[in-house]
Homo-oligomer: A and B are copies of this chain.
Amino acid sequence: MAPLLTGQEVAKHNTRESCWIIVHGNVYDVTEFLDDHPGGSKIILKYAGKDATAEYEPIHPPDAITANLPKEKHLGPVDLSTVAKVEVRITDEEKARLKNVEARPPLSEILNLHDFEAIARQVMTKNAWAYYSSAADDEITNRENHAAYHRIWFRPRVMRDVTTVDFSTHILGHPTKMPIYITAAALGKLGHPDGELNLTKAAAKHGVIQMIPTLASCAFDEMVDAAVPGQVQFYQLYVNKDRNITKKLVQHAEARGIKGLFITVDAPQLGRREKDMRMKFTDDEPHAQKGDAGVDRSQGAARAISTFIDPGLSWKDLDWFRSITRMPLILKGVQCWEDALEAYDRGLAGVVLSNHGGRQLDFARSGIEVLVEVTRELKARRGLSFPNEKFQLFVDGGVRRATDVIKAVALGATAVGIGRPFLYAFSSYGYEGVDHALNILHEEFTMNMRLIGARNLGEIVPEMVDASNIGSHIVSVPGDELYNSNYVDMQHAKLRKAPSAAKL
């Protein structure tokens, strides 16, 4: 066995001409890889000759570097005692953040899913927050996803014996204790060192299904290994331009027992998330200079990690997928009835009506709105009724309350995907956060099914909601500021200003 490399040796290779980096105690020669790095060469060069582990860790799966770099560039382990510490200066901002971590309220004070977000925003790093919360363009679809649920109102039934309510169901034939699943989201370690494993554990405890993302920060096998016996997991797939890579991933997933393959179809290219991009700009950079428009600009984490995605994916690829796997195939990101019908006609197991959490095309409609047209048209054209075991409809985006889920079920969804709220839950409280989030949902389901008068999901029928306003995309006439600023608002009765002090 070769002697350990030393930090001094590594430190010499700190240029574009010869660039070594240390990750997890091993040295890699990435000189020739620089231009192929999805995140750009600049970030690697910052660590040329140094230990890049802290930067690498949260945004790559553990095997990213070994899987992508030819064997001969794996230079072997380094004697870490000889490696200069990458000095970490704790900024004032970071100090304030750590104080906030200390100041988190007990979980008993977290009353709803919104609360996790409120805490997470204060205890996460700015970069992590920006990546999780940002969305496409003006983030209008992002917010619309939530707003759309507010256009749907209940028509509850009373005088029904709701002593016991049961909201368990089956997704693709597999049982779930609630009509939800934990949907795929990238880069879990940005929010918490255990990353997506927090979700795996909580899903097991609560009997719900986790969808494992292609772009997880945990390794795929870690997440599968962490599952308890019998725990069902799905896999979300970004299709690679190199189909061999995709084939390997899919067949490995099936081999490891994954029960459904959710192929993302709304992301031929990952969206521009300006809030995320903006987060990278600092006052340290130079001022405006003539002609500097061409300077390479940071595009946020999303673009950096996604250049492998194939924009050429099309309906024709379905036969190939069938040739490599027997897992049920579901398209994730369908946004109109025409494509849902096509998926049905081509024999798929279902579709997720989704706009990728508002992170792709701004002004894409919410999944819940699309659901209304899909059930209407598939009933009219193919005689289908929903929820339907043979062709299942899912929606995701904007869900924060069990009432949101109940609305989707009433309108025909089999289950609803929830993503960001669980990210915020583990970002602020780790596994216990996700556990508590699922407890909250469970409690809300019990309460609200009683209040709507449904003892099981089968009793949640379309007549229980009024969704007639779902398509009302209203923007008010701009305000008349001159009139409005002249108008003096009505005032309430006021307390006396100076109550006699003597009396107290």
In the assembled complex, A1 has its CB within 8 A of some CB on chain B? no
Q: Using CB atoms, name the residue of chain B closest to A152.
A: B363
Q: How far is the CA of A109 from the CA of B310 in the complex (A)?
A: 28
Contact A450 B311, beta carbon cutoff 8 Å: yes
**Interface-forming stretch among A30-38, A56-64, A178-186, A328-336?**
A328-336
Contact B475 A151, beta carbon cutoff 8 Å: yes
* A483-495 near B? 1/0 per residue, CB < 8 Å: 1011111111111
Q: How far is the CA of A291 from the CA of B112 in the complex (A)?
A: 17
Q: Using CB atoms, name the residue of chain B closest to A272.
A: B447
**Interface-forming stretch among A40-48, A191-199, A210-218, A432-440?**
A432-440
Q: Using CB atoms, name the residue of chain B closest to A114.
A: B482
Q: Using CB atoms, name the residue of chain B closest to A493.
A: B115
Q: Using CB atoms, name the residue of chain B closest to A140.
A: B478
Q: Using CB atoms, name the residue of chain B closest to A291.
A: B432
Q: How far is the CA of A144 from the CA of B474 in the complex (A)?
A: 12
Contact B471 A474, beta carbon cutoff 8 Å: no
Q: Using CB atoms, name the residue of chain B closest to A501.
A: B99
In the assembled complex, A146 has its CB within 8 A of some CB on chain B? yes
In the assembled complex, A326 has its CB within 8 A of some CB on chain B? no
Q: Using CB atoms, name the residue of chain B closest to A275.
A: B490
In the assembled complex, A252 has its CB within 8 A of some CB on chain B? no
Contact B311 A108, beta carbon cutoff 8 Å: no
Contact A158 B339, beta carbon cutoff 8 Å: yes
Q: How far is the CA of A278 from the CA of B481 in the complex (A)?
A: 15
* A96-127 near B? 1/0 per residue, CB < 8 Å: 00111011111111111011011101100000
Q: How far is the CA of A331 from the CA of B162 in the complex (A)?
A: 17
Q: How far is the CA of A452 from the CA of B154 in the complex (A)?
A: 33
> Which of chain B's residues have a CB closer than 8 A to the CB of A277?
111
- 30 inter-chain pairs at a CB distance below 8 angstroms, sorted by A residue, are A104-B288, A105-B281, A105-B496, A107-B292, A109-B281, A112-B482, A117-B486, A118-B485, A119-B493, A121-B486, A138-B483, A139-B490, A147-B477, A150-B473, A150-B475, A153-B363, A157-B339, A159-B313, A159-B317, A162-B268, A283-B497, A288-B429, A291-B432, A292-B432, A361-B451, A362-B403, A363-B403, A466-B471, A474-B476, A476-B476
- Which residue of B115, B154, B291, B335 contacts A361 across the interface (Cβ within 8 Å)? B154
Distance to closest chain B CB from A449 (angstroms): 10
Contact B498 A283, beta carbon cutoff 8 Å: yes
- Which residue of B313, B446, B486, B504 contacts A118 across the interface (Cβ within 8 Å)? B486
In the assembled complex, A382 has its CB within 8 A of some CB on chain B? no
In the assembled complex, A53 has its CB within 8 A of some CB on chain B? no
> Which of chain B's residues have a CB closer than 8 A to the CB of A469?
471-474
> Which of chain B's residues have a CB closer than 8 A to the CB of A138?
401, 480-483, 490
- Which residue of B146, B266, B278, B297 contacts A491 across the interface (Cβ within 8 Å)? B278
Contact B139 A478, beta carbon cutoff 8 Å: yes
In the assembled complex, A271 has its CB within 8 A of some CB on chain B? yes
In the assembled complex, A365 has its CB within 8 A of some CB on chain B? yes
In the assembled complex, A160 has its CB within 8 A of some CB on chain B? yes
Distance to closest chain B CB from A386 (angstroms): 20
Q: How far is the CA of A142 from the CA of B278 in the complex (A)?
A: 28
Distance to closest chain B CB from A71 (angstroms): 31
In the assembled complex, A133 has its CB within 8 A of some CB on chain B? yes
Q: Using CB atoms, name the residue of chain B closest to A483.
A: B146
Q: Using CB atoms, name the residue of chain B closest to A470.
A: B473
> Which of chain B's residues have a CB closer than 8 A to the CB of A435?
293
Q: Using CB atoms, name the residue of chain B closest to A295.
A: B108
In the assembled complex, A14 has its CB within 8 A of some CB on chain B? no
In the assembled complex, A244 has its CB within 8 A of some CB on chain B? no
* A252-284 near B? 1/0 per residue, CB < 8 Å: 000000000000011011011011011001010
Contact B482 A161, beta carbon cutoff 8 Å: no
Q: How far is the CA of A491 from the CA of B449 in the complex (A)?
A: 25
In the assembled complex, A338 has its CB within 8 A of some CB on chain B? yes
Contact A495 B122, beta carbon cutoff 8 Å: yes
> Which of chain B's residues have a CB closer than 8 A to the CB of A106?
285-289, 292, 295
Contact A107 B288, beta carbon cutoff 8 Å: yes
Q: How far is the CA of A265 from the CA of B436 in the complex (A)?
A: 30
In the assembled complex, A166 has its CB within 8 A of some CB on chain B? no
Contact B488 A155, beta carbon cutoff 8 Å: no
Q: Using CB atoms, name the residue of chain B closest to A116.
A: B493
Contact B477 A150, beta carbon cutoff 8 Å: yes
Q: Using CB atoms, name the residue of chain B closest to A500.
A: B102
Contact A104 B496, beta carbon cutoff 8 Å: yes
> Which of chain B's residues have a CB closer than 8 A to the CB of A495?
100, 103-105, 119, 122
Pairs of residues from A and B, 5 with the lowest C-beta to C-beta distance, nearest first: A118-B492, A143-B478, A114-B482, A361-B451, A115-B493
